[in-house]
Amino acid sequence: MIQTTQFPEEEIYMSTLIETPQHLGNFVRQTRKALRLTQPQLALASGVGVRFIVELEAGKPTVRLENVMRVLQALGITLAVSGLDDINEAPGVRA
Protein backbone atom coordinates (compact mmCIF):
# COMPACT_ATOMS: atom_id res chain seq x y z
CA MET A 1 0.00 0.00 0.00
CA ILE A 2 1.31 3.44 -0.81
CA GLN A 3 0.09 6.48 1.04
CA THR A 4 0.61 10.06 0.06
CA THR A 5 1.46 12.45 2.84
CA GLN A 6 0.14 15.71 1.48
CA PHE A 7 -0.08 17.71 -1.74
CA PRO A 8 1.09 21.32 -1.54
CA GLU A 9 -1.68 23.87 -1.14
CA GLU A 10 -4.21 21.10 -0.51
CA GLU A 11 -4.80 18.61 2.24
CA ILE A 12 -5.46 15.42 0.33
CA TYR A 13 -4.66 12.14 2.05
CA MET A 14 -5.28 8.85 0.35
CA SER A 15 -4.27 5.21 0.25
CA THR A 16 -3.77 3.33 -2.96
CA LEU A 17 -3.36 -0.41 -3.27
CA ILE A 18 -0.31 -1.19 -5.42
CA GLU A 19 -0.24 -4.76 -6.71
CA THR A 20 1.93 -4.53 -9.83
CA PRO A 21 4.84 -2.47 -11.14
CA GLN A 22 2.35 -0.91 -13.57
CA HIS A 23 0.13 0.24 -10.68
CA LEU A 24 3.15 1.85 -9.04
CA GLY A 25 4.19 3.53 -12.28
CA ASN A 26 0.71 4.92 -12.87
CA PHE A 27 0.53 6.21 -9.30
CA VAL A 28 3.91 7.93 -9.61
CA ARG A 29 2.88 9.51 -12.94
CA GLN A 30 -0.47 10.74 -11.56
CA THR A 31 1.21 12.21 -8.48
CA ARG A 32 3.94 13.88 -10.53
CA LYS A 33 1.36 15.45 -12.83
CA ALA A 34 -0.78 16.56 -9.88
CA LEU A 35 2.29 18.35 -8.55
CA ARG A 36 2.86 19.86 -12.01
CA LEU A 37 6.33 18.39 -12.30
CA THR A 38 7.99 17.25 -15.51
CA GLN A 39 9.92 14.01 -15.64
CA PRO A 40 13.25 15.91 -15.76
CA GLN A 41 12.23 18.01 -12.75
CA LEU A 42 11.29 14.91 -10.75
CA ALA A 43 14.52 13.19 -11.77
CA LEU A 44 16.55 16.17 -10.56
CA ALA A 45 14.61 16.39 -7.27
CA SER A 46 15.05 12.64 -6.72
CA GLY A 47 18.70 12.35 -7.68
CA VAL A 48 17.96 9.82 -10.41
CA GLY A 49 18.12 9.96 -14.20
CA VAL A 50 15.23 10.88 -16.46
CA ARG A 51 15.42 7.40 -17.99
CA PHE A 52 14.75 5.91 -14.54
CA ILE A 53 11.59 8.04 -14.17
CA VAL A 54 10.42 6.98 -17.63
CA GLU A 55 11.00 3.31 -16.82
CA LEU A 56 9.37 3.57 -13.39
CA GLU A 57 6.27 5.25 -14.82
CA ALA A 58 6.13 2.60 -17.57
CA GLY A 59 5.94 -0.11 -14.92
CA LYS A 60 9.34 -1.70 -15.51
CA PRO A 61 9.50 -4.55 -12.96
CA THR A 62 13.27 -4.50 -12.42
CA VAL A 63 13.86 -0.93 -11.23
CA ARG A 64 16.15 -0.40 -8.22
CA LEU A 65 14.24 -0.17 -4.95
CA GLU A 66 16.69 2.42 -3.61
CA ASN A 67 15.85 4.75 -6.50
CA VAL A 68 12.12 4.05 -6.19
CA MET A 69 12.32 5.18 -2.57
CA ARG A 70 14.10 8.39 -3.63
CA VAL A 71 11.36 9.18 -6.13
CA LEU A 72 8.57 8.45 -3.64
CA GLN A 73 10.25 10.67 -1.05
CA ALA A 74 10.62 13.51 -3.57
CA LEU A 75 6.89 13.23 -4.32
CA GLY A 76 5.95 13.23 -0.63
CA ILE A 77 4.77 9.63 -0.76
CA THR A 78 5.32 7.19 2.08
CA LEU A 79 5.41 3.45 1.61
CA ALA A 80 3.52 1.17 3.98
CA VAL A 81 3.26 -2.60 3.84
CA SER A 82 0.60 -4.79 5.32
CA GLY A 83 0.40 -8.47 6.01
CA LEU A 84 0.40 -10.64 9.06
CA ASP A 85 -0.46 -8.86 12.28
CA ASP A 86 2.51 -10.28 14.16
CA ILE A 87 5.01 -12.00 11.91
CA ASN A 88 7.09 -13.12 14.92
CA GLU A 89 4.27 -15.40 16.07
CA ALA A 90 3.65 -17.00 12.68
CA PRO A 91 4.47 -20.74 12.64
CA GLY A 92 7.90 -21.49 11.23
CA VAL A 93 8.98 -17.83 11.04
CA ARG A 94 12.05 -16.69 12.92
CA ALA A 95 12.84 -13.08 13.68
Q: Each residue of 10-37: pLDDT tens digit?
A: 555 678 889 999 999 999 999 999 999 9
Q: Examine the pLDDT at 71 and tell me if it is beyond 50.
A: yes
Mean pLDDT to the nearest integer, 38-63: 98
Give per-residue burial for 73-90: e unless 16+ CB within 10 Å, then b.
Answer: ebbebeeeeeeeeeeeee
Exposure on the CB side of residue 31, measured as CA atoms within 13 A = 30
Q: Examine the pLDDT at 92 and tell me if it is beyond 80.
A: no
Query: What pLDDT, on the 0 to 100 scale, is given for residue 80?
Result: 86
What is the reported pTM? 0.75
Q: Examine the pLDDT at 93 and tell me if it is beyond 60.
A: no
Mean pLDDT to the nearest integer, 67-84: 92
